[in-house]
Amino acid sequence: MAVLGVSLGITAGHCDSNALNHSFKEQSGGVFSKGTEIGQRQYTQEEMNAIVDEAHTHGRTVAAHAHGTEGIAFAIRAGVDSIEHASFLDKNTIALAKEHDTVLSMDIYNTEYTLAEGKKNGIVYKHPSK
């Protein structure tokens, strides 16, 4: 298996290391980090299209780290090969994945662990539909 060592992400997004200049006053968002709401997408459709096109041009497989329905749909439409997590998706998004032959690499246990053990481990978690 050949994997990318560093994920691509927006400034102050989930993949950001939080090593930003203090003037940004931003924190990473995601299930295990403080900041933006879980499930928010980070890229526009045009940006996703460009990322996937560039990777595929160089023969690379593209996996999108996505929890929220909108981001999952954007990634699928852009042509990613797989979606990692796919935590919050609806029937339409599942149908879209089938239509585009996109693999959904779901890990239900992560959500269960976060809900059961997150608070005592200092993880801030707010379900996106609440």
Annotation: CATH topology of 35-121: Rossmann fold (3.40.50)
Q: Is there a contact between 64 and 83 (Cβ–Cβ < 8 Å)?
A: yes
- pTM of this structure: 0.76
Q: What is the pLDDT of residue 71?
A: 93
Express each pLDDT in 42-90 by its tens digit: 899 999 999 999 999 999 999 998 888 999 999 999 999 999 989 888 9
What percent of the chain stands above pLDDT 90? 40
Q: Is there a contact between 67 and 42 (Cβ–Cβ < 8 Å)?
A: no
Which of 73, 87, 81 has its CA nearest to residue 41?
73
Residue ranges per structural domain of the chain: 35-121
* Average of per-residue pLDDT across 97-103: 98
